[in-house]
Homo-oligomer: A and B are copies of this chain.
Amino acid sequence: MCVHTASISVHTRGKGTYEITDQVGRIVRESGVRVGQVTVFIQHTSASLIIYENADRSARVDLESYFDRLVPEDADYFVHTTEGSDDMPSHIRMVLTRSSETIPIDRGQMQLGTWQGIFVFEHRHAPHSRNVAVTVIGQA
């Protein structure tokens, strides 16, 4: 059994989804782990992680539209607004999605389903540098 840690830096260009499947897959292969699991963890409170369909871009467009409606920027009861109208909605959208995900590894490969990809979901309008910690645990 061994542990291998790494991190991925994602430079976002404002609100939207940014795929990191290939970077995580590369870390898994470099770890030498044949069977085990990989955990991704985003170290932020206004961006999150999702495992989502990565074949058709339109599924991501609709997801982003849905979240804009589910957590509107102009809610009149928000008091935490110092950083602008996208501040509170960012925190809530993060809570409604994921901070960590754990994916199985078998025969040295992440066992994602056919249509699954791993994405950083950026909730702020401004570009940000986001850090995702990757921890691989298993047997070489």
Contact = CB atoms under 8 A, between A and B. Distances in A.
A51 B101 contact: no
A39 B102 contact: yes
Which residue, A51, A92, A98, A101, has most C-beta atoms of chain B within 10 A?
A: A51
Interface string A93-117: 0111111111110100001111110
Interface of A: 1-3, 5, 35-37, 39, 41-46, 50-53, 56, 58-59, 61-63, 65-66, 70-71, 75, 77-80, 82, 88, 91-92, 94-104, 106, 111-116, 131, 133-135, 137-139
A41 B79 contact: no
Contacts of A51: 45, 99-100
B3 A3 contact: no
Nearest to A113: B43
Given A1-B3, A66-B75, A71-B66, A56 B80 contact: yes
B91 A43 contact: no
Contacts of A62: 77-80, 88, 91-92
Contacts of A99: 51, 98, 101, 116
Given A3-B1, A37-B137, A101 B103 contact: no
